[in-house]
């Protein structure tokens, strides 16, 4: 699979991901579909996921303010009108948070008046401290503010506080442990994905001993720290919020794979390779890469990667899509996967019937066929079919 030759207008297009031909009609049609999904009773979250993943994402911040809470299962009606006051003087994280927020000037729109930016920085500090005080099990990490500022700029302080708290206790939870052990564990899934798609790039990176630390800031900031165009950042957040909590690691893989020529032309040296990979080009075809990341998730789901790492019998691939609809922390997904694999091995030892390889291949081909037709949107399509996923578990254990 070659990822580097594909090109699309991407999020950098002045038409926000759509081609010039019929762009306005497509945009209006998508806005109507989003409105219909929001106005359904209850809201059609599966449709909203499809809209967030598909080309162009959620189109604008007004729509994001309505959809992002739905994607995180946050009830806007239950958010207090008045936010709790923050005691900065007695907060152990205040000094570090303040330093990071003061260094976040580049994350604010260029040309914003100083007074307005300083006000937003105060709100940014308060959101972070408020979430940490309310959830003492969370530990602040440098880079967390890059995620929070994105939510602040899109949603405002009140709504951002609620969504950031939900995100912090689920998707970002592993990054907020006392140690980086779980974060490193998630990073370790990067190279197996690259190996599956392009063994040559994988071997070259292994020879250079570059490791995966170049992708650390990508992962823990959801690329917010490394992308200069805010449109690209919010487009990726549309995608990540609608998908499995491990999707950022798949997106990191497609960036590396897209740069195949640069990687192979680089000197096979750790420092040189790290320097190359840690700097993301400005002209990436984001829509293409988003679609490819979704495709790779379908073709090489976490269950398959975990099976190879644990050398155990995998449970149903559809468990990956079931997990995609729940609010879970990434490493919890991986730990749950290991438990399921252990149970699968025990069941196999107990003479429980195991699906034949041909049947498993049939299932994989069916899912891949869906992916070829719909690209990354296939993820959300599978999400919408979760009510029959358990039945497929019986057919394809």
What mean pLDDT comes out for the span 321-336? Answer: 50
pLDDT surpasses 50 at 200 = yes
The owner of tokens 């690259």 is: 194
* CA–CA separation, 182 and 192 (whole Å): 17
pLDDT of residue 304: 82
State yes or no: pLDDT of 58 exceeds 50: yes
Alpha carbon distance 226, 285 (integer Å): 16
185 found inside a domain:
yes
Neighbours of 136 (CB within 10 A): 7
**Contact 166/327 with Cβ under 8 angstroms?**
yes
d(CA 116, CA 132): 25
CA atoms within 13 A on the CB side of 253: 30
- Which H helix or E strand runs over 316? none
For residue 249, the domain's CATH number is 1.10.472.80
DSSP state, 233?
A: H
Output the pTM of the full model: 0.77
What range defines the domain where residue 154 resides? Answer: 93-163
Q: How many CB atoms neighbour CB 112 within 10 A? A: 13
Count other Cβ atoms within 10 Å, centred on residue 373. Answer: 10
User: Is the same domain home to 186 and 307?
Assistant: yes
The answer as to whether 371 is a domain residue is no
Q: What is the pLDDT of residue 316?
A: 29
Classify residue 177 by its DSSP letter. Answer: S
Q: Domain tally for the chain?
A: 2
In a domain, 40, yes or no: no
Each residue's pLDDT tens digit, 355-378: 344 444 334 433 333 333 344 444
Residue 396: the pLDDT is: 25
Query: For 198-258, where are the alpha helices, taking DSSP H only?
Result: 199-208, 216-220, 230-242, 247-258
In a domain, 261, yes or no: yes
Contact 271, 13 (CB under 8 A): no
Mean pLDDT of 173-198: 93
Nearest-5° Cα angle at 289, 309 to 20: 165
């Amino acid at each position: 699979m070659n990822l580097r030759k594909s090109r699309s207008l991407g999020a950098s297009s002045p038409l926000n991901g759509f081609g010039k031909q019929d762009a306005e009609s497509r945009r209006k049609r998508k806005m109507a579909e989003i409105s219909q999904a929001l106005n359904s009773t209850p809201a059609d979250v599966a449709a909203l996921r499809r809209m967030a993943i598909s080309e162009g994402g959620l189109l604008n911040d007004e729509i994001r303010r309505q959809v992002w809470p739905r994607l995180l299962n946050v009830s806007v009606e239950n958010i207090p009108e008045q936010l709790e006051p923050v005691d900065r003087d007695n907060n152990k994280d205040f000094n570090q948070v303040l330093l990071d927020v003061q260094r976040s000037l580049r994350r604010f729109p260029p040309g914003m008046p100083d007074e307005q930016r300083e006000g937003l920085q105060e709100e940014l500090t308060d959101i972070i401290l408020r979430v940490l005080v309310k959830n003492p099990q969370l530990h602040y990490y440098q880079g967390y503010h890059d995620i929070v500022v994105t939510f602040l700029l899109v949603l405002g302080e009140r709504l951002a506080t609620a969504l950031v708290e939900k995100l912090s206790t689920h998707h970002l939870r592993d990054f907020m442990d006392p140690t980086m052990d779980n974060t490193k564990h998630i990073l370790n899934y990067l190279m197996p994905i690259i190996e599956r798609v392009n063994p040559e790039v994988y071997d070259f990176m292994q020879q250079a001993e570059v490791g995966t630390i170049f992708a650390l800031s990508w992962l823990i900031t959801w690329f917010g720290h490394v992308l200069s165009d805010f449109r690209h950042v919010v487009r990726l957040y549309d995608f990540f919020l609608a998908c499995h909590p491990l999707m950022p690691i798949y997106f990191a893989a497609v960036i590396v794979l897209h740069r195949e020529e640069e990687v192979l032309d680089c000197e096979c040296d750790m420092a040189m390779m790290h320097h190359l990979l840690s700097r993301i080009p400005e002209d990436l075809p984001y829509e293409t890469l988003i679609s490819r990341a979704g495709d790779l998730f379908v073709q090489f789901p976490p269950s398959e990667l975990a099976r190879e790492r644990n050398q155990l019998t995998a449970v149903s691939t559809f468990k990956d899509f079931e997990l995609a609809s729940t609010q879970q922390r990434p490493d919890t997904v991986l730990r749950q996967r290991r438990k399921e694999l252990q149970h699968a091995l025990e069941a196999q030892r107990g003479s429980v019937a195991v699906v034949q390889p041909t049947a498993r291949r049939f299932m994989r081909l069916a899912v891949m066929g869906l992916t070829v037709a719909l690209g990354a949107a296939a993820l959300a399509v599978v999400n919408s079919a979760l009510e029959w996923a358990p039945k497929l578990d019986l057919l394809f254990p």
